[in-house]
Amino acid sequence: MTSLWTSRAIADATGGTASADFTVGGVAFDSREVTKRDLFIAMKGEETDGHKFIGKAIEAGAAGVICETAIDHPHVRVADSAAALDALGAASRSRSRARIIGVTGSAGKTGTKEALFAALDRFRPGKAHRSVKSYNNHVGVPLSLARMPASSDYGVFEMGMNHAGELAALTRLVRPHVAIVTTIAPAHMEFFGSEEAIADAKSEIFEGLEPGGTAIIPFDSPHYARLRAKAERHAAHVVSFGLGKEADVRAVDWLPDGNGGSLVTAQVQDALLCFTIAQAGEHWVSNALAVLAAVKAVGGDLPAAGLAFAEMAGLAGRGARHRIAVPGGHILVIDESYNANPASMAATIGGLANESAERRVAILGAMRELGEGSDAYHAALAAPLVAAGVQFALLVGPEMAPLAKALEGQMDFAHVAAHQDAVARLGDLIRPGDAVLVKGSNSVGLSHVVAALTDGDI
């Protein structure tokens, strides 16, 4: 079986001391995620200490442990497990010959990362690596790096932030050859004073670019000039993507395919590509253009990328589509329950307009971390809801009060306090033939609503 790390390599990378010779095939810092032959990194956190779960990790099959104390199991003892994780991630990046792509943005990071992986894996099966889930912070990024096989040809890493300076540190660890900013939107506004400040924070990703690197930026963004100015200071090449005619990678034409996706003709610099995107919405057309720009920049295959778009299923919480049998027929459930900000909310609601359905229903949770502009951002969702022809909206969370007020006299809606109340309303609300969009910030808990709909518990 292929080994990811040997105990000697781990000790060399972290400055630790190995108790025995061992090899591992994976890396985890959550004992619940440990599988056979994994390396378990026992870290001390704010709420708990991973050292308490070493026994569970070993029972789950861990072949070795990074820890700060001696244990009766093969391990590498270090002074600081969190620092050891960073060091292991850096060592993985240093030994790799892969072409590395970093992805950030206010929305679309995870979907773009997954689409890039699908495109590159289709071109070089088994030779592409990416960060899993939304492991995009100060512990998720080094973990994802540490998991990258030395034989990888491509690595795709999502990077997130909610404070200035965070991306600068992450991108210097990842050292991408290509850095993508998907979009700029008012996410985490309570930690920033303006969208311009968010654009500046996101553009930190360019600071870690390798010499000769490529920056990929959204042409249609009102912050395009700001992003380009920062990119030009760090990148040898700057490539724009978008729907605008002056973009380097642009959609020449696109239209709904009748199955919830889109048919797209794209100009990718000097190449013309026609393809289908399984995911719905204009925002996915934009994401696809960013992916194509990156695939071209790392020497991937554009036709393979086009085929990957057609095969991509939606991710749980990020566009997964479920056709559910209910008494008298079926409903379509579109699961966007993991995250929401004003831009992604408006884009996803707009996509609902293209669904063939007897009735369009939107179950919308509050958007969190919007700061002083929260009321205005929520109220502004009335326009896309009406434009999309949504017949009923179920609003969840106290922050939705301004939207409820804005919708008065425009469409049917109900406003409830929490996801439990939304679940209780489903039996009276849902009808055969409905297309039901569920979207909100993850902390609102609308995944429980999705579970109730998909399990038929209504």
| Residue 320 token pair | 């997964």
Residues 179 and 248 in one domain: yes
Label residue 189 by pLDDT band (50, 70, 90).
Answer: low
Q: Percent of the chain scored above 90 by pLDDT?
A: 79
pLDDT value at 1 more than 70: no
pLDDT value at 338 more than 90: no
User: Which tops the pLDDT comparison, 317 or 233?
Assistant: 233
pLDDT at residue 414, rounded to an integer = 96
For strand 320-326 and strand 329-336, is the pairing parallel, antiparallel, or unpaired? antiparallel
**What would the mean pLDDT of 419-432 be, rounded to a whole number?**
94
Examine the fold and report which residue of 245, 276, 311 is the final residue of a domain before the chain moves on: 311
**What would the mean pLDDT of 412-422 be, rounded to a whole number?**
96
Q: Residues near 323 by Cβ (< 8 Å), separated by ≥ 6?
A: 330, 331, 332, 333
The parent domain of residue 403 ranges over: 320-454
Residues 275 and 146 in one domain: yes
Residues 167 and 278 in one domain: yes
Residues 268 and 290 in one domain: yes
Whether 85 is in a domain gets the answer no
Whether 91 is in a domain gets the answer no
With a threshold of 0.85, does the pTM exceed it?
A: no
Whose CA is closest to 367, among 431, 441, 267, 258?
441
Whether 101 is in a domain gets the answer yes
Residues 113 and 137 in one domain: yes
Residues 450 and 350 in one domain: yes
In angstroms, the Cα distances linking 108 to 124, 388, 420, 423 are 24, 21, 28, 27
The total number of structural domains that make up the chain:
3
DSSP letters along 207-222, please?
GGPPTT-EEEEETTST
3-state secondary structure of 132: coil
